Amino acid sequence: MAYLRSILRSGKNAVPAVLRREFHRTLPAAVQVTVRDAIKEALDEELERDERVFLLGEEVALFEGAYKVTRGLWKKYGDKRIIDTPITEIGFTGIAVGAAMAGLRPVVEYMSFNFSMQSVDHIINSAAKTYYMSGGLQPVSIVFRGPNGAAPGVAAQHAQCFAAWYGHVPGLKVVSPWSAEDAKGLLKSAIRDDNPVVFLENEIMYSVPFEMSEESQSKDFLIPIGKAKIERKGNHVTLVSHSHVVSRCMDAAAVLAKDGIECEVINLRTIRPMDMEAIETSVMKTKHLITVEGGWPQFGVGGEILARIMEGPGFSYLNAPAVRVTGVDIPMPYAKHLEENTLPQIKDIVFSVKKTLNV
Amino acid sequence: VGIEAGINPTDHLITAYRIHGYTYTRGVSVKEILAELTGRKDGIAKGKGGSMHMYAKNFYGGNGIVGAQVPLGAGVALACQYQAKNEVCVTLYGDGAANQGQIFEAFNMAALWKLPCIFICENNKYGMGTSVERASASTDYYKRGDYIPGLRVDGMDVLSVREATRFAADYCRYGKGPILMELQTYRYHGHSMSDPGVSYRTRDEIQEVRGKSDPITMLKDRMISKNMASLEEIKDIDAEIRKEIEEAAQFATSDPEPPLEDLCN
């Protein structure tokens, strides 16, 4: 079952991957890498490539990362480049932004983006707005990364999704990877980008292995920020999603395929700037659109996509109103059954698709 | 002026929003400053920043959120340490900002990591309209750094400020860590354009400071009494400056505003 899942997840590499494995070819093969390790590889490669890059955050050095993402990096790069901070988010975020203003390229880790709320003033007022406010004189090259959104069993204060919050702000780029390749290629691009980038990982995805193509194993493998990826082609309905929810969409698509409904699953990869072109092209083909996200409904990512579809060329192609499937509009509860039902489940996506297609 | 005389142009400086003087001492022309104040295209930030957001080489603004500039300044100091160029960062804040939590967070990390940061509290006795006694449980701002050594300096005496800054900069350059300075000074006008400045203090108080402790007057009197300059030389300097300012003001009111095409550039 897990094997089947990983095949589904590797998207269009599925068939060649199976063949390669079956015939044990010795070509430089694709390898299985977890999202966690992909992030670490990206950090390691960028630290090696550019002296100005350094990491700071709680427990990133000696503890090797609260979620072990930065394991081994402190041993390799030392105190100067991997810095453990005290539990003072607004302070260390300000320090990181100041260092970026003075020409370094910090990568700030938040143990959870929920804690970034303490630092929001620096992310927005000190980082996002500065390049514009200074008339182009002062760039701020910084990456803010960490787990965002739902995590199992952590309850309300540790499970909020910030994609819509940060996606709202001009001056920021906001990235939300799903697969290991996403994580690696996008993080490398984020670190090399001269703008402030908010990099929303997800704890649920850290341990999930994905097949990484040979190309993605190169040290210069970059995925452009602002381009979505079609994880699964289909003709009947477009599902647009980001982060861990893409997995749910792929699972739902597999279930629907048994009923002859072929979903096109788009992995947004970037929240801001959003790849509306990819969504519109898909909608013009399938004529049906459903956005699926883990965050709250009001003023969310889905709401923005739907508004833009209304305003753009895709609208006249729709055969049914475009709808959103989102997390429930409540603080995340603790009890397992309640928690499960707060996020979009496979059955919710299937229900929404069938309703939209009127079947 | 005193601070600038105590450091090098290759050092760094950051402050809050009362920045026009610092923008000048950090190398921006009067013309560009006034043009930014009037929102013109040749202002230092191309009209996009305004009074509170001016930047220059090694000058990081120009920050509108009270207290935010302090961790930023500690971060610039981190970059100085990281790049090992023997530079320091002067990080200024006011008595009003001195109670901000993020300042204490910055103190902690600066001391922990021995960042070459000179924290300077400009105590002008009022945070907007609130006097220091009504805002702070302790008004000994030079002691608020706790484990960071602190100096109390007469902020109205340019030479004292220069000497104290030199001392502080040397301290930091020797890698001893951060240091704190409190400059005791005064604010003649209100907080901003919309504040006449007299609902929370008396006119007499303002007059007294102007009469007895004005920094420019004090320096002028000292130079003349010690025969370092004559009254004529000072008059000539005054006239030159007046001319420069008038030209700049003329420019600032005649330069065009930024074109609409620049809105999203």
CB-CB under 8 Å, A54 with B65: no
Instruction: Residue B108: list chain A partners with CB under 8 A.
Output: 86, 88, 91
State which amino acid sits at residue A59: E
What per-residue confidence (pLDDT) applies to A28? 57
Q: Are A151 and A190 in contact (CB under 8 A)?
A: no
Structure tokens at A253: 């698509």
pLDDT tens for each residue of A333-353:
999 999 999 999 999 999 999
Does one domain contain both A209 and A260? no
Residue B223 CB burial class (10 angstroms; 0-12, 13-18, ≥19): middle
Q: Do A102 and B48 touch (CB under 8 A)?
A: no
Each residue's pLDDT tens digit, A272-324? 999 999 999 999 999 999 999 999 999 999 999 999 999 999 999 999 999 99
CATH number at residue A93: 3.40.50.970
- Same domain, residue pair A164 and A267: no
Q: A41 and A137 in one domain?
A: yes
Identify the residue among B52, B72, B108, B113 best suited for mutation to test binding to A, counting A beta carbons within 10 A and taking the highest: B72
Question: Which pLDDT value is given to residue A50?
Answer: 98
- Mean pLDDT, each 10-residue run in order, chain B (265 residues): 94 95 95 95 94 95 94 98 96 96 98 98 94 96 97 96 97 97 94 90 92 93 93 94 96 94 88
A70 and A60 Cβ atoms separated by less than 8 Å: yes
User: Looking at A217, A250, A275, which one is the last position of a domain?
Assistant: A217
DSSP 8-state assignment for residue A202: -
Task: Verify whether the Cβ–Cβ distance B71 to A54 is below 8 Å.
Answer: no
| Domain match, A66 and A173 both | yes
Is A133's CB within 8 Å of B70's CB? Answer: no
Regarding whether A152 and A81 lie in a shared domain, the answer is yes
What is the total count of domains within chain B? 1
The token pair at A207 is 């341990």
Last residue within a domain, chosen from A168, A189, A217: A217
**pTM score of the predicted model:** 0.92
Q: What's the domain count of chain A? A: 2
Q: Which residues of B lie inside 8 Å of A (Cβ-Cβ)?
A: 12, 14, 43-49, 53-56, 60-65, 68, 70-80, 82-83, 89, 101-102, 105-106, 108-109, 112-113
CATH number at residue B133: 3.40.50.970
The verdict on residue A164 lying in a domain is yes
Interface A-B, measured as beta-carbon pairs within 8 A, has a size of 122
* C-alpha angle A114-A120-B87 in degrees, rounded to nearest 5: 120
Query: Could you tell me if A213 and A305 lie in one domain?
Result: no
Q: Do A209 and A233 belong together in one domain?
A: no
- For residues A190 and A236, membership in a common domain is answered with no
- Three-state secondary structure call for residue A226: coil
Using 70 as the pLDDT threshold, list the residues of chain A that sit under it. Answer: 1-29
DSSP chain B: -HHHHHS-TTSEEE--S--HHHHHHTT--HHHHHHHHTT-TTSTTTTSS-TT---BTTB-----STTTHHHHHHHHHHHHHHHTS---EEEEEETTGGG-HHHHHHHHHHHHTT--EEEEEEE-SEETTEEHHHH-S---GGGTTTTS-EEEEETT-HHHHHHHHHHHHHHHHTT---EEEEEE----S-SSTT--S-SSS-HHHHHHHHHHH-HHHHHHHHHHHTTSS-HHHHHHHHHHHHHHHHHHHHHHHHSPPPPGGGGG-
Two tokens, residue A164? 């819509």
- A89 labelled catalytic: yes
CATH number, domain with residue A268 = 3.40.50.920
Q: Give residue B97's pLDDT.
A: 96
Residues of A with CB below 8 A from B64's CB?
A: 125
Same domain? For A152 and A86 the reply is yes
- Tell me which residue in B65, B71, B83 faces A125 most closely, judged by beta carbons: B65
CB contact under 8 A, A121 and B68: yes
Same domain (yes/no): A210, A233: no
Selection from A308, A341, A339, A342 nearest residue A167 by Cα = A308
B35/B214 Cα distance (integer angstroms)? 28
What pLDDT is stored for residue B193 in this prediction?
87
Are residues A188 and A235 located together in one domain of the fold? no
For residues A169 and A55, state if they share a domain: yes
Inter-chain touch A102–B112, beta carbons under 8 Å: no
Domain that holds residue A48: 33-217
Euclidean distance between CA atoms A239 and A30, whole angstroms: 27
Closest C-alpha among A315, A316, A324, A319 to residue A344: A324
Give the whole-number percent of chain A exceeding pLDDT 90: 91
| pLDDT tens column, A126-135 | 999 999 999 9
Beta-carbon separation of B78 and A94 below 8 A = no
Residue among A81, A83, A92, A95 with most chain B CBs within 10 A, to mutate:
A95
For residue A79, the chain B residue with the least C-alpha distance is B113
Q: Which of A162, A196, A217 is the last residue of a domain?
A: A217
Beta bridge partners of A34: A209
Show the domain range for B117: 3-262
Which of B61, B71, B112 comes nearest A94 by C-beta? B71
A198: alpha, beta or left, given left = phi > 0 and alpha = psi -120 to 50? beta
Does residue A69 sit in helix, strand or coil?
A: coil
- Contact across the interface for B72 and A85, Cβ inside 8 Å: no
Distance from the A33 Cα atom to the nearest Cα atom in chain B, whole angstroms: 33
Active site residue A168: no
pLDDT of residue A29: 65
Quick check: B72 and A95 CB within 8 A? yes
Active-site residue, selected from the candidate residues A41, A46, A89, A231: A89
Chain A residue numbers touching B53 (CB-CB < 8 A) = 133-134
Q: Do B48 and A133 touch (CB under 8 A)?
A: yes
User: Considering only CB atoms, which residues of chain A are within 8 Å of chain B?
Assistant: 54, 80, 83, 85-86, 88, 90-104, 121-122, 125-126, 130, 132-138
Contacts of B39 in chain A (CB under 8 A): none
